[in-house]
Each structure stands twice: as structure tokens, then as C-alpha cells.
Amino acid sequence: MNTIGWPNFRSLNQEGIVFAIAVVLFVAAAIGLPGFVDPNNLVAIVRSVSVLGILALGMAVVIIGRGIDLSAVAIMAMSVAWYLQLLNSGMPDGLAFAYVLAGVLAIGLLNGFLVAYADVPAIFVTLATGSFVFGYVRSQLITQDAVPVPQGHWVELLGGLRFLDIPIEVFIFVGLAFLFFLFLRYTKWGRYIYFAGDNPVAARNIGIPVRPMLMLRYVLSAFVALIAGLLTAASLHSINTRIVNSTLLYDIVLVAVIGGIGLSGGRGGVRNVLVGAALIGILLNAMTIIDIPLLYQNLIKAAILLGAIIVDGIINPRDEQTAQQGDI
Amino acid sequence: MSFRERLQSWRYNLVPDHVVGEILTKRWTDNAIPFLALVVTLATFGSIIPGFFKLTALQESTRQLGEFSMVVTGMTVVMLGGGIDLSVGSIFALSCFSAVYVFFILEQSIWLALAASVATGLVFGAINGYLVGYLRLRAFLTTLVTFIFGRALFDILVTTYAADVQLSTATSDVLDFIGDSTFWGLSVSVWLAIILAIVTHIALTRSRPGWHVLAVGGSRRSAHNAGIRVRRTVFMTYVFSGFCASIGGFLIACRLSGAGPGTGLNLEIMALTAAVVGGVSLGGGRGSVIKGLMGAIIVLTMTNGLIRMGYGTGTNQMVLGIMLAVAVTIDIRWLKNRHKVLNEVYVAPVYLKMGKTQSAAPGSGTSYELDNRLSAADHIGLGELEGPEDVILDRDDNLYCGTRHGEIVRFFAPDYVKSEVFAHIGGFPLGLAFDKSGNLISCVGAMGLYSVSPDREVKRLSAETSRSWTSIVDDARLRDPNDCDIAPDGRIYFTDSTKRYDAHDWALDSIENRATGRLLVYDPKDGSTRTLLDGYRYTNGVCMAHDGKSLFFAESWACRVHRYWLEGPKAGTAECVIRDMPGYPDNINRASDGNYWMAWLGMRTPSFDLSLRHPDMRKRMTRRLPQDEWLFPNINTGGVVKFTEKGGIVEAMGDLSGGAHPMVTSMREHKGYLFVGGILNNRIGRYKVAGADPNWTSPASYWGAKS
């Protein structure tokens, strides 16, 4: 073992590399970009990634269990849009929220049921339900693309809440991240998710209730999306449903994958989400400061995601003999 | 017959339950669901929307269909190869832009624009193919990312050049022709889509690269192990998909004379839905271009129809989401459960009340009374043989039998110790007969009627008869040819026991008890095979009467023997000569005293006879119990019965010990000995028959003394 000289690159995992890149980027931006290290800007960075990070937490739990949830953004935007629409039409808050909760629960259960019990690949189920949720809510339940938050509603007040000059959503992100950390690391069900993601058949054979837990993960992801949607509406005072057609969904996958959560399941944790979110936050902020147009930002993000997936494919290669048939 | 039984017999004998199972065995049932969906969709929207089927409206919507179905064709090929291509929308848009850029901004010829378009598609497809095929990344996510990448690129290009395109004055007759003209009532894009579909279909079904795609999609691992270049094949499917999308993009560039932010939007989920709704299987290997096209028409009709009916933003996505979820779920459940459903519904028992029979128990005093004589038989080939269903001897006293291993074995006279493989057939040889010139004719289970010449040349005589119009299963194929015999004029009469089960599933046929056995004749003069009689419960042994003017054949599950007349006033008709035997008859052969030997493969039991009157119970039994616990004919006791030409029973002998010949499927008399075979036995028995003519041989009886 060479203890002196070059670090042993093989011991570096993806998380470490990404963290190093994030630090380098941060230092470079701090030196090269005026106003980057300004406390307000740093808060803005954290704030900009907190909604993304919350969504990525839900996505991470699903991915660790060897799934994926492409309906997250649709659920996030459309559930809140429906909620605000109900409020604007004069429905009592409690009843409206109960409706929305029930709807979110139903979609999560539907996702989970189709994946767990009908054996449909998660990617197709969630693609379809995402499209359905957007289409159904947009065409049947709301009247326009953007729905404003009613005056004086608690969602609006939430957006204005600050603690130590830091917006409340940052604390919510941190709190949720800590809760997810405890859940994944220290609870029995959290550990089971890793088992089920690493080898679903073996997990089932030792008696883990793999399929009910799978449904639970999609329900969890749907509720996380609802929270993220409420926070988005809080900070913008409205929700724009066009966000569903934006690249936000791929940003979420990007945060999870680039942080080192393997798409083949069973690997990763909350720390990976934080690292991924840090890199993406710094990157987006830097690009905005340099004044790169949004369209080019999308191009750059897509290129990074492509690179991340290629690296993921090289680090976790699929074997010709053991790859699952139809595992696309 | 009680009222309950009468109801059961009506219910199970008149309602054609078996049709359901037979339809499910057909490959085209896979196509039936999407086709039905297509018809329903067209009918619904055609009736709701006024003028839906008007020529002008059709021309406009088919133009869009041409572009769309090309993209779907590409997607179908990728999916058949086990992948998925979500970037088709981006490729489509970028190719469209390439054509627009070359034609309107560079003001080059339309053909150069086409070349640029195709090149864009091929390059993009090659990138996808390289990532998914060679780097083996996950197809779904990878193409999703290249989709975002391509879309971002397209958005940048369109916003940059939109104004320039507007200002361009380039025109071309060719462009207008491609974009707006019709040709025999159909637009150019539809013609191109049809040509592309036909070429792709032929390539997939009739060329080596196409088969490779299907093989890789069907089982990637097996294809890899078989030496197919899996990675290159996958790569090529993406390149092809890119090509298809680029042609579609070129066509829309011609039609709209420009590219906008909406070009190719949502195309990937539409194409994916179309392919899946059409019945192209996720994970590959199953599907066809035609299915993809059916799906394309369904999806486009739905989305366009909803827009024309005035539903608002988002309706399309909602409907696409529902269609995709439902179609994927159905596809996966169908694939997974089809054979289970088939197993559940295929066995459709019928009601039968067996006639009262005489006992065959020792000491019962009936003519069927079994004794223990066969247990004293000498054994031939003990332990060497597996499954000598039929035995036969030639003029030189050599002994032949078929074996489970697909061979005909010859034991040499006089002691039958030495043996050799006389001929290798490949299937299980059952009934045997010698023709006039010494060829050994054999019914081979599940294969057909074969002939082995004295110098061991194996020749197939017949494997099919004429198809009947009303049968759903292919009854032209011989499923279970069982025994044969040869008339003096050389025609070979043989039985095909069942149309619904393969030979090894004979127990299921007995449980179902449906009358589908046939008597057939093969004419060596013109090589034709005809069906003579149909609708018997497991036709089995055949034996030509001594005078050659009629033949006897056994109907196993009904425990009957029939006589079929070849000549005389009753020619062409059959009559039952023995009914309600206590055993299930198998092969029949001539005896030296002018009578006939008949083998019993098993004995009737009161319990199974009773179950035949309870078809519902038998159906439940096959569904719910493991095969070991099924009630089916007792084959632990059999015997040999001698009967007269009029159907009278002369004697019966058996092996009550069960040690040597518990089940007998054939016996052949030769020079005073009876040679006994059994399909589940491990030997041939030789038993000296008291009072038999010591010089009588079967070949001489059939074809006269040696010339």
C-alpha cells in the first residue's frame, strides 16, 4: 500500500468524487465570480436546492428500493394546484386538504400496486400515472395553467417565514433529510428497503414483506412531492403547472444519481442526496451568475446527467449472463 | 338417468367449452385485443365526430398518421430488440430542423435537406445505440437523457433561427409535392410509411438481421450464448429508429415548411403508447410492425378525436396515461398468465355414462375372467428396453419393437438375446406392421406414419390429413398416430387417437373423454391421407380381418371394438362388435385359429366410471390437484383377450402378480408363441399358447407363404 504520494484513486467512490468536484467548483466560483460568497447568495443557493432536495429525498428512497418515480413532479404540481383551486372556489381548508391528501394517497397506492402486484416496470407505471395526473387535473379540475395562493392563507404565510434570516424551507429540507436519515439508517423498515433493493427475491424469501413495503415507498414519495409542492407555492405565491413539462423531473434524478445512488438499487443514502444537491445547487447558481441562458443550462444539465449515467453504468455494470430479461 | 345427470350431460356435452381453450392456443389471439381496440376506437370516434370518415378529413389526419407511424415503426423495432427509445421526439424535431435549415436558410436543394435530415437521425441513433448497445446502459434512462439533450438543443436552434426561416423565400415543387399532394387518394407520407412498414416487416420476418433482433429481444442471454452479436444488433435497432424518426421529421418539415417549438412534442410518449397498445411487448421479442401500426392508428385517432371534440388542455396526456398504464399492465399480465389460463381452461371434460359391464375378476365365472397365465411368460430384453408399445416378427422370426428413445430395436432369432438398433426414428414408434414387400410401417407418436425399408431407410409416409372446416385446433396434423394395419391392396389404415392432446398427455384425454379419435387411410399409390371416421373416444388398435374385407379397431375410453367394412354391402360404415368391456382395449392382432387377440391396457374401475358422470368434478380435479393425484384409468392391471369375428369373447389371460405384464398394449402370435409388449414395460414377454398352430406366422397370414 502506498501511504505516501498519490491518493489511492480506487478507494474513491462516486460520492467522494462528486463531493470533491463540488468543493472545487465552490472554490473556483468563490474566486472567479463576484458576489458568489455573499451570505445572501449562499442562502439563495441552499434555498434553490431545498425543494429539489426534498423531492430527491423521496426519489432516493424509491431508487434505493430498485424503483423510480417519474410521476413525482406531476404529483407535486397538480396536487397543490388542485388544492389551491379548491380553496379559491371557497371550499373549507380542512376539507380541501383532506381531498388532496386522499388523492395523493390514491396515486401513491396506484403506483405501488401496479409495480408490486401487477409486476409492471416502475418506469412505465410512473410515466403513465404522471401523464394521467397532469392530464386529469389540468383538464378536469383546474381552469388555467397557474393557480394563485389565496390572500392570507397559511401557505402564503409559510413562504414569508424566516428564522435567523434563513427561509423556512431550508429548515424543512434539513429536518426532512435528518428524518430520512434516521428512517433509512436506524429503523427496521429502513434497513429492509436496502435488502429489498439489493435482492428482492432473497428479501422475499427471508420473509420481508417486499410488496407492501414497495407500495409504502411510492406513497411516501407522493407525500414528499406534496410537501415540496406546498413549499414551491409558498415561495412563489402560486403554482404553475407547466413545471410538469420542464426538466425538473430530470434534475431530481440527476441529484440522486450524481450523488451516487445506484439505479440498480440497494445503495446510497441521505448523504448522497445532500452531496448531489450541493453540486447541482452550486452549478445552477454559478451558471445563473455567469448569465447562461436557461436553454443552455438545460443542455449542460443534460450533458452532466448523461455523464453521470455513463459513470453509473461503468461503476455498476450489468452482466450479460445475469441481467434480467426486460430490465430496461 | 337422474335429472341432475341429464342437466350435466346437457351442460357439458352441448356447450362447447373446449373452444375457449383451443382459441387461446392460437397465436393470433395476441393480435385480437389490439385489433378489437382499433375497431372500437374507430367506430366510437367515427360515430361521435361528424365527417370523421370524409375524404378530406381523412387525408389531413392520415398525413399526420404517415409521419407518426414511421416513428412508431422505429420504436417497434427497438422494442422488439428488448430496448426502448424515448428520444424519438427529439430526433424527429432535430431532423425536421436540419431539413428546414438546409433548405430555407442555406437555400440548398431539397435532396440535400433530406440527406441532412437522415444524417441527423443516423448520428443521433448511433449515439443512443452506442450508449445502450455497447456501453450497456439502461435504455429507458439513457434515451430519456438524450431526449432532454436533443430537446434542449432543438429549443436553442429554433429560437435562434426562427426569424430567418420566416424570411426565407426558398420554394421547391418537390417540397410542395411531398408536403401537400396526394397520390391515388393517399398522401405521400402515408405511401412512404406503408413502404417502410412493408420493408421492415419483411426484414424482421424473413432476413437474418431481423431474426437476430427478435432473438436478442426474446432472450438476450441465449442470443449471446448462441453467438449472435448482441451489442451490434442492439446498436443497429437504435440507428434504425433514428432513421425512421428522421424521415418523419423530414416529412413534417415539408408539410409545415418550418419548425416550431411544438414540433415533436410528446411524440415519445405517444409512440411508446402506440407500440404498447398495439401489443408490442415490453422487454422484447414479441410483436410486429403491423401491431405497431394498429397502435399508431388507435393513439392518433384518440388524441385527434379528443381535440376535435373540444376537450381542453391536458386531456391528451390523461388519455395517453390511462392507455399506457392499461396496455402495459395487460401486456405484462397476459404474457405472464397466458399459459396458466390455457392450462386452466383447456381441459373441458364431457359427460359419459359407461354401460354396465361383466366382471373380469378371477373366479367370477364370466368369459372376461382374468387368470395369472401371463406371469409365467419368458422375458426378452429385460432391462434393455423402455416402452415396447408394439411388437412384431418378420418372416425370419426376428422380433422388432419401438422404444421410448425413438428407435426400433431388432432382437435376433432364435433366442432373442442379441439385439441391435434397427432404425432411428426420433419419435416414439407405436403401432407396427409389415407390408407386402417387407417394409416396416410404424405409427410414430406425435410425428406421423413412417416406413422403414428392409435396408433400414426411414421414410415419412404421412404427417397430415385434410383439415376439417369446423375444427379450431389444427386437425390436419396427426397428433397421436397410434396403430396401423395394411389391407391386401396395400392401403394403410391407421388411427389418430385424439385431436386435442399430444401423445404423452393421453391421461388428460381420458379425463376429458371427448370423442376426437379418428380412423384414417393412407394410399401408397398417390401418397394421400384421408379421414374415414371421426368422433371416437381414443381410437387405438387396428387389425385387418382374416379375409381382408373389414377391419377391427378399438375405442379405448369407451371400451368398445368396432368393425369397419372395406367391401361388401356395408362398405364405408362401422358397427360396434364388442361393447362395455371391463378393460380399456389397445392393439388388436390376428390369432392363428381365425380369431383375434386384443390387448387391455388397463381395467375400468367403478370410481373412474363414476367420475365420467361428473364432468364438473373432473374439471375441478385437473385445475386444483397436482397431476399425481388425478383420478384416471387404472393401468396397473391389463391383459390379453381373444375374440371371435362376431365379437364373442373366447378367453382372457392376465398377470395377477403384476410383476411381468401388468399393462399390455400389444401382443403378436408367432409359431405357437405369443409375444407381449407394454408401453410402460421394460421387457417383451414370450408365452407359449396352448393349442396354437406352431407354424402360423403373421406375415404369412397377411401376404401368403414365402415366395
What is the tens place of the pLDDT at every residue in A51-106?
A: 888 999 998 999 888 888 888 889 988 888 888 888 888 878 888 888 889 999 99
pLDDT score recorded for residue A4: 47
Which three-class secondary structure state does DSSP give residue B473? Answer: coil
The answer to the question of residue B6 being in a domain is no
Are B572 and B559 a contacting pair, CB within 8 Å? Answer: no
CB spacing of B148 vs A120 below 8 angstroms: no
Per the prediction, chain A carries an average pLDDT of: 81
pLDDT score recorded for residue B57: 66
Bridge partner list, B668: B675
Chain centroid to CA B146: 41
pLDDT score recorded for residue A8: 47
For residue B271, the distance in angstroms to the closest alpha carbon of chain A comes to 13
Report the C-alpha gap between A87 and A147 in whole angstroms.
10
Q: Please tell me whether residues B152 and B251 are part of one structural domain.
A: yes
The answer to the question of residue B365 being in a domain is no
Sequence-ordered list of residues with C-beta below 8 angstroms from that of B519, at least 6 positions apart, any chain? B493, B494, B495, B531, B532, B533, B534, B536, B539, B542, B553, B564, B574
CB spacing of B152 vs A299 below 8 angstroms: yes
Domain of B417, in residue numbers = 373-465+476-703
Q: Please tell me whether residues B185 and B93 are part of one structural domain.
A: yes
The values of phi and psi at residue A227, to 5°, are -60, -45
**If we measure between CA atoms, which residue out of B280, B254, B284 comes closest to residue B100?**
B254
pLDDT score recorded for residue B658: 86
AA identity, residue A292: I
Report the C-alpha gap between A129 and A145 in whole angstroms.
19
A183, HSE (Cβ side, Cα atoms, 13 Å): 16
AA identity, residue A290: I
CB spacing of B152 vs A302 below 8 angstroms: yes
Bridge partner list, B594: none
Domain end, chosen from B321, B353, B383, is at B321
Instruction: Name the DSSP class of B548.
Output: S
Calculate ∠ Cα B362-B364-B365, nearest 5°.
105
Report the C-alpha gap between B180 and A5 in whole angstroms.
71
Give chain A's domain count.
1
Report the C-alpha gap between B707 and A222 in whole angstroms.
92
Q: What is the CA radius of gyration of chain A?
A: 20
Report the C-alpha gap between B21 and B349 in whole angstroms.
12
Which stretches in chain B have pLDDT values below 50? none
Strands B528-536 and B517-523: antiparallel
Q: Please tell me whether residues B418 and B287 are part of one structural domain.
A: no
Q: Please tell me whether residues B279 and B395 are part of one structural domain.
A: no
The answer to the question of residue A128 being in a domain is yes
Q: Please tell me whether residues B289 and B173 are part of one structural domain.
A: yes
Residue B680 sits in a domain whose CATH number is 2.120.10.30
For residue A69, list chain B residues with Cβ-Cβ distance below 8 A: none
Residue B232 sits in a domain whose CATH number is 1.10.3470
Report the C-alpha gap between B668 and B697 in whole angstroms.
9
**If we measure between CA atoms, which residue out of B493, B393, B483 comes closest to residue B442?**
B483
Domain of A131, in residue numbers = 14-19+29-315
pLDDT score recorded for residue B54: 67
Sequence-ordered list of residues with C-beta below 8 angstroms from that of A73, at least 6 positions apart, any chain? A55, A130, A225, A243, A244, A246, A248, A249, A252
A292-321 burial by CB neighbour count: b if 16+ within 10 A, else e? Answer: eeebebbbebbebbbebbebbbeeeeeeee
Give chain B's domain count.
2
The answer to the question of residue B665 being in a domain is yes
pLDDT score recorded for residue A5: 45
Indicate the burial class of A1 (C-beta count within 10 angstroms; 0-12, 13-18, 19 or more): exposed
The answer to the question of residue A287 being in a domain is yes
Among A residues 84-123, those touching chain B with beta carbons less than 8 Å apart: 114, 118-121, 123
Are B652 and B369 a contacting pair, CB within 8 Å? Answer: yes
AA identity, residue A75: I
Calculate ∠ Cα B420-B422-B425, nearest 5°.
130
For residue A314, list chain B residues with Cβ-Cβ distance below 8 A: 135
Q: Please tell me whether residues B316 and B216 are part of one structural domain.
A: yes
Instruction: Name the DSSP class of B370.
Output: -
The answer to the question of residue B357 being in a domain is no
Bridge partner list, A34: none
The answer to the question of residue A4 being in a domain is no
Among B residues 134-193, those touching chain A with beta carbons less than 8 Å apart: 135-142, 144-146, 148-149, 151-153, 155-156, 159
Would an 8 Å CB–CB cutoff place A295 in contact with chain B? yes
Indicate the burial class of B130 (C-beta count within 10 angstroms; 0-12, 13-18, 19 or more): middle
Among B residues 241-280, those touching chain A with beta carbons less than 8 Å apart: 269, 272, 276
Sequence-ordered list of residues with C-beta below 8 angstroms from that of B432, at least 6 positions apart, any chain? B390, B391, B392, B400, B401, B402, B408, B440, B441, B442, B484
pLDDT score recorded for residue B251: 87
Which residue is listed with cell 424521415? B247
- Which contacts (CB < 8 Å, 24+ apart) does range B571-580 have? B572/B532, B574/B519, B574/B533, B577/B552, B577/B646, B577/B647, B578/B643, B578/B647, B578/B649, B579/B355, B580/B354, B580/B355, B580/B356, B580/B357, B580/B358
Helix (H) or strand (E) holding B380: strand B378-380
CB spacing of A118 vs B332 below 8 angstroms: yes
pLDDT score recorded for residue A318: 65
Count CB-CB contacts under 10 A for residue B526: 6
The answer to the question of residue A251 being in a domain is yes
The answer to the question of residue A226 being in a domain is yes
Per-10-residue mean pLDDT of chain A, 328 residues long, equals: 45 68 81 77 80 89 87 89 85 85 91 86 86 85 79 72 76 89 87 85 86 90 90 82 78 81 78 85 82 81 80 69 51
Q: Please tell me whether residues B424 and B556 are part of one structural domain.
A: yes
Best residue of A69, A70, A75, A124 to probe chain B, by most B CBs closer than 10 Å: A124
pLDDT score recorded for residue A1: 39
Q: Please tell me whether residues B304 and B453 are part of one structural domain.
A: no
Residue A162 sits in a domain whose CATH number is 1.10.3470
The answer to the question of residue B367 being in a domain is no
Q: How many CB pairs under 8 A join A and B?
A: 155
Q: Please tell me whether residues B163 and B253 are part of one structural domain.
A: yes
Domain end, chosen from B256, B289, B321, is at B321
Q: Please tell me whether residues B394 and B304 are part of one structural domain.
A: no
pLDDT score recorded for residue B140: 79
pTM above 0.80, yes or no: no
Which three-class secondary structure state does DSSP give residue A281? Answer: helix
Q: Where are the alpha helices (DSSP H) in chain A?
A: 14-32, 39-64, 72-88, 93-116, 122-136, 154-160, 168-186, 188-198, 200-205, 210-236, 248-258, 270-290, 294-315
Report the C-alpha gap between B357 and B584 in whole angstroms.
12
Calculate ∠ Cα A143-A147-A149, nearest 5°.
140
Torsion of CA B552, B554, B560, B566, to 10 degrees: -30
